Amino acid sequence: MSFTVGIVGAGPAGLLLGRLLHRAGIDSVVFENRDRDYVEQRQRAGILEQGTVNTLRAAGAADRLDRLGIPHDGIDLVYDGAAHRVDFVELTGARVWIYAQTEVVKDLIALRLADDLPLLFEAEVQSITLDPPMIHYRHDGQPHTFSCDYIVGCDGFHGVTRDLVPAPVLSRSFPYSWLGILVDAPPVHHELVYAHSRHGFALASMRSPTISRLYLQVPNGTTPDTWPDDRIWSELTTRLTPHTPNEGRITAKSVLPMRASVRQSMQQGPLFLAGDAAHIVPPTGAKGLNLAAHDVTVLAEAFTHLSQTGSPELLDAYTETCLRRIWRAQHFSNTMTTMLHISPDQTEFETQLQLSHLHHTTTSPPTTQSLAENYTGTTPL
């Protein structure tokens, strides 16, 4: 069977789906409302599960990842001023990879353009119709319409496609946000550090051996200009103890709200949702990018099955196939978030519960194993 898929959004979900469909011989067109430079520079996630790495390798999109990605075999959990290592490889046989979302996106764009496949930047999708499937967009100052057989909404949390799937959205918000900075300095530690502190949560991550990515829990409504560099370094030093941050030039500062939401159906007729268009997880579990990659892997297999057999059975089962992993990631991300952050009205009783939870997580082998499985995406589903 031959058909064409219109993909809205050139984030990791849309670009990876386009790549997987191309490898399966299925035509697609990708519409992206921002310009190429913006999409390639947008700072977001940076941790890839082994499953995501495997997908990128199988898609022939991992040459740079295999050269520049940094494998991590564990993380440090810090509480009460002491560090406790969780060894993923020993517990699960799996590891994770540090490779920035910006690099994943750059790789996929370069491959798509090298293959001379349609990818329209500065093409804002304004609406879509489902019967028949049509994408209405503005490009070069003109309105256009693109007819296709299927539409996939990969346009993130603020896109136009998600509200066309009339399903309940289950969500929660958190009473805090993250201030994220990018720093020209070597990482704090050779692995990621997740720190519980009475001053609030801190995370020490990295983008490369010379670029650090650091986060501080801040109150909702915070703007980056209320955090001068000195204040950031002072808080990081306090919260990350016993680790010490390496100070350097801060090249980016932004505030990231913490949200969780799941649309209980990811499809409506010829429209499918993938990635942040369908669900948002708080970033504490490092799952957003990995879930997006998983959704489009399932969807690409379903389109491939349709093209090879004419049967829509896998497409019909798309939501059900994805939701189990999405809710597992949601549970893990929520658990990590509430275990590590200090709520504005938190009592000492609740702080002691968090410390007990952290102690249990780092000393009870089955509980440590559970964290390792969830973090690496190897939990049986």
Ligand X SMILES: Cc1cc2nc3c(=O)[nH]c(=O)nc-3n(C[C@H](O)[C@H](O)[C@H](O)COP(=O)(O)OP(=O)(O)OC[C@H]3O[C@@H](n4cnc5c(N)ncnc54)[C@H](O)[C@@H]3O)c2cc1C
Q: Is 375 a catalytic residue?
A: yes
Interface with ligand X, residue 155, by CB under 6 A: yes
Residue whose structure tokens are 């958190």: 174
Please pick, from the candidates 23, 34, 85, 357, the single residue that binds ligand X as defined by CB under 6 A.
34
- Count of Cβ atoms closer than 10 Å to residue 381 Cβ: 8
Interface with ligand X, residue 44, by CB under 6 A: yes
Interface with ligand X, residue 104, by CB under 6 A: no
Interface with ligand X, residue 107, by CB under 6 A: no
Helical ranges in 59-159 per DSSP H: 63-68, 88-92, 101-114
Identified catalytic residue from 12, 133, 270, 283: 283
Min. distance of Cβ 15 from ligand X in angstroms? 8
Interface with ligand X, residue 10, by CB under 6 A: yes
Query: Which of 18, 5, 301 lies closest to 149, judged by CA?
Result: 5
Here's the x/- map for ligand X, 294-333, by CB under 6 A: it reads as: ----------------------------------------
Written as one letter, the residue type at 166 is P
Interface with ligand X, residue 286, by CB under 6 A: yes
Nearer to ligand X, 56 or 289 (CB): 289
Q: Looking only at residues 328 through 357 of this chain, which bind ligand X when binding is defined by CB under 6 A?
A: none
Please pick, from the candidates 28, 33, 212, 368, the single residue that binds ligand X as defined by CB under 6 A.
33
Q: Are 117 and 28 in contact (CB under 8 A)?
A: yes
- How far is 252 from 256, CA to CA, in rounded Å? 13
Number of residues that bind ligand X (CB under 6 A): 31
Interface with ligand X, residue 9, by CB under 6 A: yes
Q: Are 84 and 359 in contact (CB under 8 A)?
A: no
Q: Binding segment for ligand X among 58-66, 169-177, 288-296, 304-312 (CB under 6 A)? A: 288-296
* Contacts made by residues 351-358, CB under 8 angstroms, sequence distance 24+: 351/198, 354/79, 354/196, 355/79, 355/80, 355/196, 358/77, 358/79, 358/84, 358/196
Q: How far apart are the first and last CA of the chain?
A: 32
- How far is 53 from 62, CA to CA, in rounded Å? 7
Nearer to ligand X, 27 or 124 (CB): 124
Interface with ligand X, residue 6, by CB under 6 A: no
Written as one letter, the residue type at 370 is S
Identified catalytic residue from 79, 137, 215, 375: 375
Interface with ligand X, residue 282, by CB under 6 A: no
Q: Binding segment for ligand X among 284-292, 299-307, 311-319, 326-334 (CB under 6 A)? A: 284-292
Q: Which two tokens stand for residue 153?
A: 């909404």
Interface with ligand X, residue 159, by CB under 6 A: yes
- How far is 298 from 268, CA to CA, in rounded Å? 16
Q: Are 6 and 133 in contact (CB under 8 A)?
A: yes
Q: Is 194 a catalytic residue?
A: yes
- How far is 297 from 242, CA to CA, in rounded Å? 40
Q: Would you tell me the crossing angle of helices 12-23 and 288-309 to the nearest 10 degrees?
A: 30
Here's the x/- map for ligand X, 167-196, by CB under 6 A: it reads as: -------------x----------------
Identified catalytic residue from 194, 196, 243, 341: 194
Min. distance of Cβ 351 from ligand X in angstroms? 25
- Count of Cβ atoms closer than 10 Å to residue 127 Cβ: 12
Q: Binding segment for ligand X among 141-149, 265-273, 275-283, 326-334 (CB under 6 A)? A: 275-283
Query: Which of 168, 203, 156, 131 lies closest to 31, judged by CA?
Result: 156
Q: Is 287 a catalytic residue?
A: yes
Q: Binding segment for ligand X among 237-245, 280-288, 359-367, 370-378 (CB under 6 A)? A: 280-288
Interface with ligand X, residue 23, by CB under 6 A: no
Residues that bind ligand X (CB under 6 A): 8-14, 31-34, 39, 44-45, 101, 124-125, 154-156, 159-160, 180, 256, 275-276, 283, 286, 288-289, 292
Catalytic residue ranges: 72, 194, 283, 287, 375
